[in-house]
Structure 1
Amino acid sequence: MSLPDRKEAEVRRLLVQRTAEPVPADLAERALADGARLLRRRRVLRTVLWGVVLAGLLALTAWSLAARPWSEPPPTTTPPAVDW
């Protein structure tokens, strides 16, 4: 028997046995509730992450407006006197 024929024969044997366990009656409802809970958690996590990103951008903007990091820092010493 070749490999595909052997696999097909094994599948056919398993289908003929039909010793499947019974499925709980409320399986669909539980799966729906689990899926809804998963979606809620993802939505809350996404909202929290966006809030953190926006708060970080707001803090960066406030700091840059207050500190003005792009401007030249004030001199720490006086310039040398020039004798003309």
Structure 2
Amino acid sequence: MNRAQREAAVRQIMERTVPRLPPELHTDAVRRGTRVLRRRVLARRLLWLLLGTAAVAFAVWAAVAEPWVEPPSETTPPLTGW
């Protein structure tokens, strides 16, 4: 096959009509896409809710337990009678 024949074959392939898609394919794709989008939005909202709940729980625990305060020493006896 020489160059002219190859170019003619390529032109013939490119000039063919584009195959038509079935009409229900578009509606199925839109329906699935909206379903996937709704699931992603729901998952994102649930994760934000979980993160917020964890942050509030940590803040309440930190306010009650006060982990930054050093616990009192229990190894030394009290100094009485000086």
TM-score under structure 1 normalisation? 0.68
Q: Counterparts of 2:57 and 2:40 in 1: how far apart (Å)? A: 26
Q: After superposition, where does 1:5-84 map in structure 2 within 5 Å?
A: 9=7, 12-18=11-17, 20=19, 22-78=20-76
Count of aligned positions: 75
Question: Displacement of 1:12 after TM fit?
Answer: 2.8
Cα distance change, pair 36–76 in 1 and its aligned pair in 2 (3 A): same
**Unmatched 5+ stretches in structure 2:** none
Describe the shift of the 1:19–1:42 C-alpha distance in structure 2 as closer, same or farther (beyond 3 A): closer
Distance 2:40 2:29 in 1: 17
The TM-score with structure 2 as length reference comes to 0.70
Q: Secondary structure at the match of 1:26?
A: helix
Write the distance in 1 (CA, Å) between the matches of 2:69 and 2:10.
75
Q: Which amino acid aligns with 1:48?
A: L
CA RMSD of aligned residues (A): 2.7
Q: Unaligned regions of 5+ residues in structure 1, if any?
A: none
Whole-Å separation in 2 of the counterparts to 1:11 and 1:62:
71
